[in-house]
Structure 1
């Protein structure tokens, strides 16, 4: 059996594919920023002195990490509509991705916090630093620096996982690819193009994270260990 590849039909939809790639990047960027902030907050709360907040954080993290992302997306999308909050698919997808990656970020950052030597914390306390100063100047900067490669990988995986949001009609790459292949009947060519697009987006994200680490972590730059 012989198959003749013809990429001309799906390539004719390049403006839609380009717009879908922008949507994918927008989803990933929003989920990365807000998911990082949520994860850092949960990591701090989980190690904090407020017992009920630590337990709530643990419940959230374990629940999200042990349920499928697709189910979480459905709960957010249909759940918000059930309580009368009408949001578009992009907003619901972003919220679901933030909730999901926030839990994983929390665990990664928590590992970074636990890697800080106790002697370093004790020295900071002896200098009279407040708890906020301890977190912002002594704990979080080196903790995030140590787990930055893991965070980078997690956010790239998040971008790839955003393809699942096509199930609620978010106009990202996979959703547009599904429509294109149904119109052109060139499934293999369409999905090969989309796979190449995801590969390019992954490389772009890694380049952005490398540039960010180059600016944010001068010590890693001097040692030549930037991501």
Structure 2
């Protein structure tokens, strides 16, 4: 084992890690917006909209995310919509993350007992006040662990973007391996970087959880 040949590629590794983080954060934010909108639609009264969201969830949760990236990057240009590799991967991963976020957020909202909502309404609170003070806080706390776990899976899943030549970490690893022929060393380093990023996010999410959800749970 000789890791010294990898040292001269440290800048490429840093750039690849940064692009991986950017792709993860963009996909997570867009996916959460989709998730919130989809969860609200599922709890609404518009039947057609509920069926549309259900179809979207089933489609993206039951097909490989790599195929979704390929369709956006390779197929959409045939209908006049051509996206660069990074943007195509971001769109595909956002839709993938959003499909899971819809169900996670919906489950969080459904976990709040109906009696609590009715109690707020009996106190004369408006619909927004009931949502803001009674429904939202426990729903966020209940959905938070699943959302953060899915975020870590999203971080690791960004490696699929290498298949359309997005310059994220795994794509950089392939470039370095082709130049150094040090397969074990390259992928050992890449594995360590992914592991470090995942653990850092887990620690960050634990701190956020401790700060934001400190009130006692009902026994």
TM-score, normalised with respect to structure 1: 0.89
1:175 aligns with: 171
Tell me, which stretches of 5 or more residues in structure 1 are unaligned? none
Superposition pairs for residues 6-155 of structure 1, below 5 Å?
Answer: 6-155=2-151
Counterparts of 1:210 and 1:167 in 2: how far apart (Å)? 32
How many residues are matched? 217
- Kept in 2, the 8 Å contact 1:10–1:181? The answer is no
Tell me, which stretches of 5 or more residues in structure 2 are unaligned? none
**RMSD over aligned Cα atoms:** 1.7
Counterparts of 1:49 and 1:127 in 2: how far apart (Å)? 25
Counterparts of 1:216 and 1:100 in 2: how far apart (Å)? 27
- Kept in 1, the 8 Å contact 2:159–2:170? The answer is yes
* Deviation for aligned residue 1:130: 4.3
- Kept in 2, the 8 Å contact 1:31–1:97? The answer is yes
2:161 aligns with: 165
Does residue 1:199 correspond to 2:204, yes or no?
A: no
* Deviation for aligned residue 1:128: 4.0
* Deviation for aligned residue 1:39: 0.7
- Kept in 1, the 8 Å contact 2:73–2:82? The answer is no
- Kept in 2, the 8 Å contact 1:124–1:138? The answer is yes
Counterparts of 1:219 and 1:33 in 2: how far apart (Å)? 26
Counterparts of 1:78 and 1:46 in 2: how far apart (Å)? 32
* Deviation for aligned residue 1:131: 3.9
